[in-house]
Structure formats: structure tokens, C-alpha cells
Chain A
Amino acid sequence: MTATQDRPAGAGATRPEAARINKPVRHRSIPLLDLYQTAVGKKWVMAITGIALMGFVFAHMFGNLKMYFGPADYDSYAEALKTIAYPFLPKTMVLWLFRVGLLVFFALHIHSAYSLTRMNHRARPTKYSRRDYIAANFAGRTMRWTGIIVALFLLWHLADLTFGLGNPDFVYGQVYNNVVTTFDRWPVALIYVIANLALGVHLYHGTWSIFQTVGSMNPHFNPMRNPVRRGFAAGFTIVVIGANISFPLAVQFGIVGG
């Protein structure tokens, strides 16, 4: 046993220092602004913008259910969006506030996701040859990819139904007609279904993850294995994505616009 007591040359002699992957935080006169320099702060930004985006996808889905009531109802709903709080405020003002707000939320959400991803790559320069995950699930590990699919889809969605690019039957303002004519083409319907499945995977992990990020941990709401959190995440995702996917399918099967 004596042989092993000789210290191998090198060990103990050199103590390598850890590389710093981030600069120290510069404290501002308004401490709240420090948050965006830090990862925990950026996660708060992701969570809060994520909640706002959840509110948006829910409202968007809920409003679109009107298409099941026919062209008159659906088009007047689209028109009503432009006159929220009118005549107290000018027409389309609230709509524009929503649009600008959404754009800012998207930008912050995507920028913090991007910068945290870069940070995480710096934090693990050498990968393991083999890694057995126990807790991390598919949804959690693919957030970046489902997020990118959703972002690309969003651009395409705006081009398709807001600007009418690529749809010869598009008529500005005739929302029902535009939805029916675009979803009538099966490749378009397919893209909507696939993109919504990606959004569903993203939402499922996101709606579960926010509870931890914002520090909700009251065992009265979160007993063993967090059934309330999982249930909320699954329920929210199924309702939003289920309804969203039903729209292109309803057009394809002639239930809407048939």
C-alpha cells in the first residue's frame, strides 16, 4: 500500500483557477436595473414576459373560437378589436398598445433566452462522453428549439393572415374569408398543426417552470411531486393548443366555411 502514497507529480502542485464566465455585476443607482445583468434576474424577466405571452396566446385562442359562430360574428369580433375603449380613446389605439407591448415582451423573452443559453455554453466547455438524465424531460431540454420554431412560425403567421402574402384570395378586413381560404390548402393547415404542437411543448414546460422561477413553493399548493403545477401546465396547454389545432382541422373537414 505504500506505493499509492507517493503523490503523483502535478496534483497539488498546480491549483488551476476557475475561469470567470461573467463579469461582476455593476450596481446601478436603481437596483432593479441590475437584474438584467444577472441570470436570476433574466429568469424573472423570462417568467414575467412568459406569463404575459401566455395571457396573449390564451386570449388569441379564445377570440378565434368565434369562427365557429360564422362569418358575421367572426368579422365583427375582428372589427371590435380595433375599437376597444372607443370613443374614450382613438380607434385602434388600444390595439396598437397591445402590439407594441407584445413586441417588447417577445424581444425581452427571446433576448434573455439567447443570452442565458450562451452563458450556459460557456459554463460547460467540455461535454461528458455519457450522461444519464433522471429528471430533465424532453420538453425542458428542447425549450430553445421549440422557441425558435414558434418564433419562425409567428413571422410566417403574420405574413399569412395579417399581410396576406402568398394567399391569392386574401381580402384585407375579411378575416373569416382569409382564414378559410388559407386553411383550405392542406400544407398550410399542416404547418399550423405542427407549429402549435411545438408551442404546446414549450408552453407545457414553461407554465410548469414559472412557479419555480418566481419562487412559489408553498407546500399547501405544491405537495409531493407538485400535482397542482403539473395539472395547471397540462390543462393550460391542452386547452390552448387543442383549440388552436381545431381551427385548421375544422376548415379542412368543412365544419368551418364548408
Chain B
Amino acid sequence: MQLKLKVWRQDGPEAPGRFETYDAVDIKPDMSFLEMLDVVNNRLVEAGGDPITFDSDCREGICGTCGVMIDGQAHGPWKGAATCQLHMRAFRDGDTIVIEPWQAAGFPIVKDLMVNRASFDAIVSSGGFISADTGAAPDANEIPIPKPVADSAMDAAACIGCGACVAACPNSAAQLFTSAKLAHLNLLPQGQAERFKRTEAMVETMEQFFGSCTNHGECHEACPKEIPLDFIALMNRDYLKSKLKNRKLAGQVFP
């Protein structure tokens, strides 16, 4: 395959960005998108140029580092796949592909396509944990959890923190990420003790960096783990409760 790439190049965080065009030649349809970029970078380096900087680690859709905007879609055209899981057979010979970094105030650009997602760490460290002493590992099934609840918590825990939800959102809102991190603890018995403290802290940290949700649903379409929008509804409700509930009486009723 032969392709043209229109790539966002930016020398550093403060530098102005610009688009540059590159030819991608000798591309095989069974290459992954990142392998295609490797091929282009090799030729760039051989020609004495500056390779395109992008992030990647696991290259199997679990680490969350690799996301870029491909033709105006976060992680490109395949649903439920990260950039590293996208293959070149998704494109046609001769296509021009536009590649841009995540654009959001909360994700400053390090260089070219690489952004710093430390604001996600700030959200998680403000409450995305359980601070009870856990002791030795308990027996499995010692705490009864209804199967549908365990399934939802597992769905929420699938979030890899890639930031595609923010990138795809017209408002750069981080609702899908934050609500997934909240739901995977707030749905389980172990998460109840700090449920409302956690929700309050994580929502308020999120809002220091990211925009406000308008319920468009672009995040869910972009998400490589297909996190459902229901978690955002749960977060909205839990946040209101965090302001209404008398926490001195928490634990009296299982809400």
C-alpha cells in the first residue's frame, strides 16, 4: 500500500504546531497502525530527519498510551480498538490519513503526537482507591456480590486511561474516564465506605482540568473498551448525593 500522511508536528510544549506531509510506502495491510508509523520513522531517520514522536508501550490495547486522532476519530475508524490494535487494512491504497494528537487543555503536548496525561493520575489519586487495611487475601466469594453488579464493576475497571474519551469530546470533558474509575469502586461493597467522599473529590479534581459534559456520547463511540454512558449517569447522581447525604449516618441504608 501507498499512503499519504498529514501529521501534526510540534517541537515542544510551547512551540506552535504545524502539519507536515509524508509518504508512507511499502505498507502491508496486516501491519498495525503503529508499525506503519515505525516504517515511516525509519525512513525519516535514514534520510537524516526528525522522526515523528508518538507514545506506545504494550501494543496490545491494554496500557492506554498510544492514542492519536486519525482522520478526525480518536483511535481511528475501528470501534472498540486502540490505535495499536488498528490495522492498515482499515485504509485503502492511496488514502491520505490525517494524524493529530489529543487536543485538550488537560493533556499538554510533549512533542508531536505525544501528550502528558498526568491530569488523569491527579483524578485517580484524589480518590480512586480504597484506604482500608486489606490484610491477607480473603477467600473468594466471601463477600456476596450480585453477578450483574460484579459484571458492571468489571466493565468499568476495563478503562485503560487512554484519554480517547476526552479527545473525542467536543468539550474535552473527562466524564467517561472519571465515571468509570468511580463506578468500579462505587458499585462494590468494599467501595461503599468512601463512596461519597471519593465521588466528590474525583469530580472536583476532574473539573480543574477538563470541560463539561453535554451528553453527546462521542466518548463512548471512541472508547477502545466501550465503557457505557450509564456510568456518567451514576456519577451525576452520586455527586448530587455527595452534597446531600449526612455522612455521619452513612451505612444505615445501602443506597
Binding site for B on A (CB under 8 A): 1, 3-4, 6, 8, 10-12, 14-25, 31-32, 34-35, 38-44, 116, 119-120, 122-136, 140-141, 143, 208-209, 211-217
Whether A31 lies near B243 (C-beta < 8 A) is yes
In Å, the complex CA distance between A215 and B213 comes to 13
A17 near B239 with CB under 8 A, answer: no
Q: Which of B21-29, B103-111, B131-139, B186-194 contacts A (4 or more CB under 8 A)?
A: B103-111
CA distance A123 to B104 in the complex (A): 6
Minimum CB–CB distance for B167 against chain A, Å: 9
Cross-chain pairs A/B with CB under 8 angstroms, 20 sampled: A4-B45, A11-B111, A15-B116, A16-B14, A18-B116, A18-B209, A24-B208, A38-B207, A41-B240, A119-B212, A120-B173, A120-B211, A123-B211, A127-B103, A129-B98, A133-B216, A208-B215, A212-B215, A214-B237, A217-B230
A11→B237 CA distance, assembly (Å):
41
Nearest neighbor of A126 in chain B, beta-carbon distance: B103
How many angstroms between the C-alpha atoms of A209 and B216 in the bound complex? 9
Residue of B nearest to A112 (CB): B212
Asked if B71 CB lies within 8 Å of chain A CBs, one says: yes
Task: Say whether, besides A122-B105, A130-B71, A11 and B114 are in contact (CB < 8 Å).
Answer: yes
How many B residues touch A, CB cutoff 8 Å? Answer: 69
The reply on B118 being an interface residue by CB < 8 A is: yes
B12 contacts A10, CB within 8 Å? yes
Contact: B12 with A140, CB < 8 Å?
no
Distance (Å) between the CB of A111 and the closest chain B CB?
A: 14
CB–CB B209/A20 < 8 A: yes
* Contact call A216/B42, Cβ cutoff below 8 A: no
Per-position contact with A for B199-242: 1 when CB-CB < 8 Å, else 0?
00001100111111111111011100000011011111111101
A interface, over-half SS: loop
Could you tell me if B42 and A18 are in contact, using CB atoms closer than 8 angstroms? no
Q: Do B234 and A217 touch (CB < 8 A)?
A: yes
- Complex Cα distance, B208 from A122, in Å, reads 11
Whether A43 contacts B19 by the Cβ 8 Å rule is: no
Contact assessment for A3 and B46 in the assembled complex, using a CB-CB cutoff below 8 Å: yes
Q: Which residues of A contact B41 (CB under 8 A)?
A: 4
Question: Residues of B contacting A129 with CB < 8 Å?
Answer: 6, 19, 98, 100
* Chain A nearest CB, measured from B118 CB (Å): 7
